[in-house]
Amino acid sequence: MLKYFFKRILAILPVLVVVSILAFAFVHMLPGDPARMMAGEDADPATVEMLRHQLGLDEPLPVQYFTYMGKVMSGDLGISLRTKLPVFDEIALRYGPTMHLAMAGMFWSVIFGVFFGAVAAIYSGKWQDYTAMMVSVSGISVPQFWLGLLLIQLFAVRLGWMPVAGYTGKMSELVLPAITLGATVAAIMARFTLSAFLDVLDEEYISTARAKGVSERLVMWKHAFRNALIPVITMVGLQFGFLLGGSVVVETVFAWPGLGRYMIEAVAVRDYPVLQALLLLYSFHFVFINLVVDLVYALINPEIRYE
């Protein structure tokens, strides 16, 4: 297990290098000139050119890339072109709210998704199955921005139970954004759990357990549910990565001071250092989460061992 862990850690490095190249290329393919946007539309060409030189944008792209990566390796993510503040400090300021939102959305979506998926599998072909799947299809079909606005209108504006927008650290401020963010994930988890559960129920060891007289409840929750969780955990890890990187719409609707909203602001002004740092951060999240998921496999099923 330990050997496998270190192999995966080493495998992260080339992946991040490739991602950094792609992120750098994609960001520089965005239309618009950051120097022109900083100088203003009325600035003369000499001023714009001076800004380009100060920002290093007049250098060849390979030189810009290696200069940037050299700073990243030393812990310097650059200076925001918009705020003139260190990108590391800006991201650190917004990382907490985004992580809190993603964890809250993931928490409720996994609980409800796995529960509805298991119920649909246990009562396959019955009204419980149809009800659970109808709810899951609704969760996938409803756009996040529409659901968020609906929740704000109902629970914040009309009933006054929840804050309208913003985040100051109170738990009540997490409820509506977390529900909005996790709705799609809950629906996906329900359908994936149903599929995994049904696959496990067709295995021979389930039939053997039933033939030995093991109670149906024990068969379902000890033998079937435990093994069905293995592919579900993979989906949990992937969906958590998507929640961290895909909260742009929710953070915009709820005026959430997180990384998703920060990325929208950076795109609007072509803030290259911010965009590159965020893309690297999101990529690292996915790679790290996949590593954690692989290691958790062995904890759930002792028969799984990595040499």
Enumerate domains of the chain plus CATH numbers. Answer: 1-88+265-307 (no CATH), 96-257 (1.10.3720.10)
Around Cβ 176, how many Cβ atoms within 10 Å?
A: 25
Q: For residue 69, give both structure tokens.
A: 């990566």
- CA atoms 182, 187, 188, 193: torsion sign: positive
What are the counts of helices (DSSP H) followed by strands (DSSP E) for the chain? Answer: 14, 0
One digit per residue, the tens of pLDDT, for the chain of length 307 reads: 666 667 777 777 787 788 888 878 877 777 766 776 666 666 677 777 777 777 777 778 788 888 878 888 887 887 887 788 888 888 888 888 888 888 888 888 888 888 888 888 777 777 777 787 787 777 777 777 788 888 888 888 888 788 877 777 778 888 888 888 888 888 888 888 888 877 777 777 777 777 777 776 777 776 677 777 777 777 787 778 778 776 778 888 888 888 888 888 888 777 878 888 888 888 888 778 877 777 776 666 555 554 4
Which one-letter DSSP state was computed for residue 79? B
Listed in sequence order, the residues at least 6 apart from 225 whose beta carbon sits closer than 8 Å to its beta carbon are 118, 197
Q: How would you label 192-203 residue by residue, b for 16+ Cβ within 10 Å and e otherwise?
A: bbbbbbeebbee
Predicted pLDDT of residue 78: 79
Q: Are the CB atoms for 132 and 120 separated by under 8 Å?
A: yes
| DSSP state letter for 81 | T
Q: Is 242 helix (H, G, I), strand (E, B) or coil?
A: helix
